[in-house]
Structure 1
Amino acid sequence: YIDLYNENHMYWVTADMYFKANQMGLLDPETYTQKNEDYSQKINEGQVFYSSMEWDFDAGNAELSKAGGKDKFVDIPWADTAEFPAWISRASEFGMAARTFVVSSKCDETKMKAIMRLFDFLFSEDGSRTIMNGPKGITWDYDENGVAVLTEDCKQKLKENPDYLLEQGANRYLGLVGQDYDALSATQANEGKYIDLRLNKEYVEENMTDADKDYCDFYGVDVPLEVSTKRENQSTIHEGYINLMPAENPTDIQRSITKISDYLQQAVPDMVFSETQEEYDQKYAQIQAELKNMGYDDVTAYFKEAWENAISNYKELTAK
């Protein structure tokens, strides 16, 4: 755990990168003020060349692909060091924190059984695979070795129509699925098989563009995903821990969180657009002092205790 007093926190590393980009004339002056639709339009028109979220460029890449060009926006990974471990998997024993379901106490037993059958299906690999890839027997099925694969008919239709899976309902109900979108198959994790069949190496190799191949050649891998999965420094997000964190925070803690968040949203952009390094350093020091005045230490202590309790509860629940 690295707190905000530490200059090596990713928050400050990123702020420093934006400051240096602005000094070089590379940072969009509207970075912190533009609306999302304006930002998306800039990407589609080729005016933006960097984002911290690679999926921001999905629409732009789709346009480049339709144009028949060999260009593509790709990710540039952080240095393969202990400070920047690659997120290569997610443990979700209790489902995704953002996809938590509740059932009313007024629900009768018959409905409850039906609901639980639905949940059992959604949290199973077949259920998750259906949500992600479309209906079994149409878009995917098991081969003679018991391995889930896209059907030949589906692969052919995808070549003719890139939106075919979407038309078959793939990802339409992704918010309901219990598994993560990039979860490995529990039964074939050692073989690198993903629940979303479009992430599996065999399928990716068949559909790589010239830009994908160039990217792989540059990093010395077979498929793009291996740029992350073959890194020495890797990490796993434990969704189970996150699920066991407090659902609500004490009023005084929440007030401090809101105050700190609102302050940083104003102070950090101002720091990034500093004219000189000296001005940047002065504003950074001022932010550090203000964090302490706003109760950041109390917030940190609260979450540290909550996190330790979550890990303890996780171990207890998973041991049964």
Structure 2
Amino acid sequence: MKKNILNSRMFGEMAWKEMTLENMRRVIMFLAATGACLVLSGILGGCNAPDGSTGSGKTEENNDETILTAFVQQSVASDDGIWEGWGAQKLYEDTNIKVDFYASGNEVEQKLKQYMAAGNLPDIIGFRDLDEAQLLMDADLLLPLEEYEDSLPSIFHTKEYENAIAYTMENTSNGTGKLFFMPTSIGPVSYNAYNWVPLLQWDAYKKAGAPKLYTLEDYLDVVEKMVEIKPVTESGEKVYGFSLFSDWDKYSALEIASLSYFYGIDSEYVSTLMETNILTKETNSILREDSFYKRALKFYFEANQRGLLDPDSATQSYSNLEKKYSEGRVMFSWFSWLWGTYNNVSSGHVNHEEKPDGYANVLASDMKIYEAPDQVIGRNWYFAISKNCKNVKKACEFLNWLYDPDVEQYLYNGPEGGVWERKPDGEPYVTEKGWDVINEKNEDLMPVEGGGSFQNGVYHFNGLGQQASTLMDDGYTISYRYWPSSLNVDETRMQKEVNEMLGKDVLAEYLYENDMVAKSTIAVNMIPPVSDVMENKIAEIGEVVRGDSWDLVYAKDETAFEELWQNMVKKAKELGMDDVEQYYKQAWKEALRKAAEFESTDKTSTSLRK
């Protein structure tokens, strides 16, 4: 048996990508029992550490200095190595700990599986969904944090974390009542922080006549005019109306499905094979004939028919796409933050005297923008400690440091006197020079010990224990972004023009006044992991849907599009899509019931709205 497993192709790179959770759990349980360290030729180079040195990749101690390894799936950072800069300096001063990050970036789920197979799990693991956390918990590879409560006072003795801990121990511990992973982003939803908002290049939009948009499909005509006005960049590079990437695809073409968030429809948190309408509280298969997913596929199909879609969309990486945005080579964006460096003041666009430009909020009047729920139990992003970590004491010290509210305040803003100061009455505010540092967040401009860029504080973690809009004891939010003076910070020339069009200084005010918000529920974070049998079905269906979706977008004509759609639905149903849909309908119903126990009509976040 041992020989068959070790010689099997299942440990090849492609096999890991295709393996279902059921088989993965079996393999990992075998590895855990035998202590095997597999040689994954061409993947991880045996059991070498990320830097190429021999060993398990676990904690290293050098006199009083400790180096912990970490793999944070939710991070957008693609670089690896020792954490440096002002945030890392704070950690070292407080704990004598350095963190050696494994590269995240693309295909993080597959990377985690490869690390597990190689016996090379890092000390600290950041998960970006419950399935991955459940996988390691089932394999008995995570420490039960409650057994180290004395070493983790920041987690167990911080009032704001109580509900999140209680819910996680009761509902996501396999009935053990233990805390194997700690949620992040706990607290009220951040004010004016919308993840999915349609953006258009402002100068080209104005030159197209700044037409009013009524529906999603109106963007096709408008963007077509914009590309006619600006077919190439100043350096001669081709400009596309739309461009996508496929790095984050799991069971669907995720960035195509993401258009649903313009209409209050979740297409990721409950399941990427389901779309959950936040307004009607209904969830249905993305393969229904009247699904938004089909509408989104048709939208990009039409964009391609018009020659507006980047032909690299199905294969390019996120980093390659971000570069195109930085160069102004794409007219439309679906994320509120996806514009590369094009909107940076230093790029010279947003404050251009003659033609202010940048990616600007331009919404269709029928939209209901998805607003995240108040995360009273946290979101499905977690931090955990690997069970075979060699220095549990220092790993706990690091996790305790990371969840300390005072440390989080430091990581969000930097030290007082760096980019921010306090008025005589105690009100914090960002200085004029501080805004320069923040606006150029990836430049090495931090005027404090440790140096580096402003994003050094949170970048490698993406999310911290508490939401950025959590109120601290001084009555102000934990992050500078929601301090009173920050909400009215000087506008760029472009933003001033956009605000004049909206008639509001803050997007949230415009959305609420025009009934264009779909406020979500924490029920989206309360869907339990599926059984192994169900996971098999989902993985097989996802393989079909993910691949066929891109074929649909690039279909020859409408007849081919419809034939491909019907064939995809037929194959999915044969693989058990109806069973999957019924499972999630029941799980969603139960999640809504549980959510009602935690949610109230008195939202903390509303106190931040002006």
User: What range describes the TM-score normalised by the shorter chain of this pair?
Assistant: 0.7 to 0.9
Aligned twin of 2:81: none
State the alpha-carbon separation in 2 of the partners of residues 97 and 115 from structure 1: 21
Report Cα offsets for 1:223-245 as digits up to 9, x if no partner: 34544454413233444x35443
State the alpha-carbon separation in 2 of the partners of residues 46 and 138 from structure 1: 32
**Contact persistence 2:325–2:340 (CA under 8 A):** no
State the alpha-carbon separation in 2 of the partners of residues 66 and 7 from structure 1: 46
Aligned twin of 1:95: 378
State the alpha-carbon separation in 2 of the partners of residues 31 and 112 from structure 1: 40
The one-letter code matched in structure 2 to 1:292 is: K
Q: If each structure's helix is expressed as a fraction of its own residues, which one has the higher value?
A: 1
CA shift, 1:212, in A, is 1.0
CA RMSD of aligned residues (A): 3.9
CA shift, 1:264, in A, is 1.4
Aligned twin of 1:23: 305
Question: Is 2:438 the partner of 1:154?
Answer: no
CA shift, 1:22, in A, is 1.4
Q: For the structure 1 residues 156 and 231, does the alpha-carbon distance in structure 2 shift closer, same or farther, using more than 3 Å as the test?
A: same
Alignment length (residue pairs): 306
Q: For the structure 1 residues 175 and 254, does the alpha-carbon distance in structure 2 shift closer, same or farther, using more than 3 Å as the test?
A: same
Secondary structure at the counterpart of residue 481 of structure 2: helix
Paired residues for 1:1-320 under 5 Å: 1-62=283-344, 65-66=347-348, 69=352, 70-80=356-366, 84-101=367-384, 118=401, 121=404, 124=405, 127-136=407-416, 138-140=418-420, 143=423, 147-151=427-431, 154-155=434-435, 163=443, 164=445, 167=453, 169-172=456-459, 174-175=461-462, 177-180=464-467, 183-186=468-471, 195-198=478-481, 202-203=485-486, 205-224=488-507, 226-239=509-522, 241-246=523-528, 248-316=529-597
The one-letter code matched in structure 1 to 2:486 is: Y
Secondary structure at the counterpart of residue 98 of structure 1: strand
State the alpha-carbon separation in 2 of the partners of residues 60 and 108 from structure 1: 43
Q: For the structure 1 residues 136 and 249, does the alpha-carbon distance in structure 2 shift closer, same or farther, using more than 3 Å as the test?
A: farther
State the alpha-carbon separation in 1 of the partners of residues 457 and 389 from structure 2: 33
Report Cα offsets for 1:143-184 as digits up to 9, x if no partner: 45554433566347668998445635432454451234xx53
State the alpha-carbon separation in 2 of the partners of residues 141 and 63 from structure 1: 22
CA shift, 1:263, in A, is 0.9
**Contact persistence 2:472–2:478 (CA under 8 A):** no
Q: For the structure 1 residues 197 and 275, does the alpha-carbon distance in structure 2 shift closer, same or farther, using more than 3 Å as the test?
A: same
**Contact persistence 2:413–2:419 (CA under 8 A):** yes
CA shift, 1:258, in A, is 1.2
State the alpha-carbon separation in 2 of the partners of residues 228 and 97 from structure 1: 27
Report Cα offsets for 1:3-59 as digits up to 9, x if no partner: 324445332221111111112111112211223343233333332222323423132
Secondary structure at the counterpart of residue 74 of structure 1: strand
The one-letter code matched in structure 2 to 1:263 is: V
TM-score (norm 1): 0.75
Gaps of 5+ in 1: none
More deviation in 276-285 or 222-231? 222-231
The one-letter code matched in structure 2 to 1:307 is: W
**Contact persistence 1:42–1:48 (CA under 8 A):** yes
Q: For the structure 1 residues 145 and 253, does the alpha-carbon distance in structure 2 shift closer, same or farther, using more than 3 Å as the test?
A: farther
Q: For the structure 1 residues 187 and 21, does the alpha-carbon distance in structure 2 shift closer, same or farther, using more than 3 Å as the test?
A: same
**Contact persistence 1:141–1:149 (CA under 8 A):** yes
State the alpha-carbon separation in 2 of the partners of residues 201 and 177 from structure 1: 22
Q: Higher relative contact order by CA 8 Å / sep ≥ 6: 1 or 2?
A: 1
State the alpha-carbon separation in 2 of the partners of residues 109 and 64 from structure 1: 44
The one-letter code matched in structure 2 to 1:298 is: D
Secondary structure at the counterpart of residue 52 of structure 1: strand
State the alpha-carbon separation in 2 of the partners of residues 108 and 161 from structure 1: 34
Q: For the structure 1 residues 119 and 208, does the alpha-carbon distance in structure 2 shift closer, same or farther, using more than 3 Å as the test?
A: same
**Identical-pair percentage:** 21
The one-letter code matched in structure 1 to 2:572 is: L
Gaps of 5+ in 2: 1-282, 447-451, 601-610
Q: For the structure 1 residues 315 and 104, does the alpha-carbon distance in structure 2 shift closer, same or farther, using more than 3 Å as the test?
A: farther
Secondary structure at the counterpart of residue 541 of structure 2: helix
**Contact persistence 1:133–1:171 (CA under 8 A):** no
CA shift, 1:290, in A, is 2.5
Q: For the structure 1 residues 176 and 27, does the alpha-carbon distance in structure 2 shift closer, same or farther, using more than 3 Å as the test?
A: closer
State the alpha-carbon separation in 1 of the partners of residues 313 and 391 from structure 2: 52
CA shift, 1:291, in A, is 2.5
TM-score (norm 2): 0.43
**Contact persistence 2:420–2:430 (CA under 8 A):** yes
More deviation in 152-161 or 259-268? 152-161
Q: For the structure 1 residues 136 and 155, does the alpha-carbon distance in structure 2 shift closer, same or farther, using more than 3 Å as the test?
A: same
More deviation in 166-175 or 99-108? 99-108
State the alpha-carbon separation in 1 of the partners of residues 325 and 378 from structure 2: 33
**Contact persistence 1:198–1:204 (CA under 8 A):** yes
State the alpha-carbon separation in 2 of the partners of residues 252 and 113 from structure 1: 35
Q: If each structure's strand is expressed as a fraction of its own residues, which one has the higher value?
A: 2
Aligned twin of 2:87: none
The one-letter code matched in structure 2 to 1:154 is: G
Q: For the structure 1 residues 110 and 281, does the alpha-carbon distance in structure 2 shift closer, same or farther, using more than 3 Å as the test?
A: closer
**Contact persistence 1:129–1:195 (CA under 8 A):** yes
CA shift, 1:194, in A, is 5.7
CA shift, 1:140, in A, is 3.7
CA shift, 1:72, in A, is 0.4
State the alpha-carbon separation in 2 of the partners of residues 112 and 36 from structure 1: 31
